[in-house]
Amino acid sequence: MTEFRRRSALQLLGGGMAFLAGCSETADGNGNGTDDTGESGSNGETASIEGDLPPYASMLPTNDRSAYFYGAIDVETMSTLLEDEGAEAGAEPTDPLVGNPVVVALLCSFGLRQLGSSAGRRAYTDNNETADGEEQFVYADGVYALVGSYDRDGLATALEAAGYTAESEAEAYAVYTDDESDEVVGVSDDVYAYSYPNEGESAFDPVDAVERTVATAAGDRTPKHEADDGFDRLLRAGENRGITSCLYTDADEFDADSLSSDRATDEDGLQFAFDAFEGANGVHQQLAVADIDAAATASAVVTYDSEDRVDEARLESSLGTEAETVDFVTIGSRVEIDAEYSGEFARE
């Protein structure tokens, strides 16, 4: 992420530009039609939540780890961040309600820059049939994925012509590797996914990870939200527009490694801050920017295994610290947070 300028990410908060299509109005509540009257049930479960799933939920794969993280942003927003050269440097956000989604923007921008330097870029560009404003960029399970509508046959032909080798092929998806760049690419009708070898403690097999992603998108594997009711409820309770950051565990609460801030960072110091969520087992955050005065709105849903684990005081002391207004509402074993930030937030 060293090539991505921090000032571009901070432009989300104070540049006076409409980054997010359709997000110019402040949302009330979670914006997903969630039933806010749910009560805690067994094992901390909350009564049925009728909110919508994000459009990319069907490509989020299961894995063999307890902790699960993903981040998402619409491509129009990401393109503006990458191309803007007139952003003024602003104050680094210290409020996790803002800072965590901003790091998602950094993480996704790094992924888009990798795509921009790969031989698969033209294949993706020439075979992208997504309607304007509908494409999403998602980072999950070690894989970068563009979610939209694609000409899968055209992608396969273009990748093979560029020298990519087919690693696995199924009726609805295929996975390719490029020996020159070590890039792994997976394609389906709805997803263009890619990853690279990763060394160190977080090492994983990028071919397996990419195949899980496109196979899930193609319906050949069960997506995470269908296999885990708690994850499904968290996605439905959260606001899914703009920039999203989601951390979840199927355990009673996050362990220390899950809350570690070294999941992603840039060399200038922006990093995730999850300390406020100690004792919780799920957090779904969202950030949007208005197009009138660059005011930002942020929301979060924090879930716990049971009502007696809820620690609203801890959340209140750590979240919304730089907001103009912030509201905390406890509903059974979850806490919903909504905050508003002025247009001067990033210009201090």
Token pair for 207: 């071919």
- The whole-number pLDDT of residue 32 equals 45
More confident residue, 177 or 34: 177
**Would you tell me how many other CB atoms lie within 10 Å of the CB of residue 161?**
11
Span of 15-19, 49-53, 253-257, 260-264 with lowest mean pLDDT: 15-19
**Would you tell me how many other CB atoms lie within 10 Å of the CB of residue 138?**
27
Stretch 191-213: mean pLDDT: 86
Q: Model confidence at 74, in pLDDT bands (50, 70, 90)?
A: confident
Q: What is the pLDDT of residues 149-180, one digit of tens each?
A: 999 999 999 999 999 999 999 999 999 999 99
Token pair for 12: 């989300």
- The whole-number pLDDT of residue 3 equals 34
Map out the domains of the chain as residue ranges: 6-347
More confident residue, 197 or 36: 197
Stretch 132-154: mean pLDDT: 93
d(CA 345, CA 16): 11
